[in-house]
Amino acid sequence: MSFWYNVDTGQVETDENRSRGEQVLGPYATEAEAQAALDTAHKKTEQWDSEDRDWNERGGSAAAGDSDA
Q: How far, in Å, are 10, 26, 59 from residue 4 at the CA level? A: 10, 5, 39
User: Degrees (nearest 5) of the Cα angle 25, 29, 34?
Assistant: 40
Distances (CA, A) of 31 to 1, 7, 15, 25, 47: 10, 15, 12, 12, 24
Distance CA 57, CA 49 (A): 12
Residues forming a β-bridge with 5: 12, 25
- Check residue 62 and give its pLDDT: 57
pTM above 0.95, yes or no: no
User: Tens of pLDDT along the chain (69 residues)?
Assistant: 999 999 999 999 999 999 988 899 999 999 999 999 999 999 999 999 999 999 999 987 655 445 554
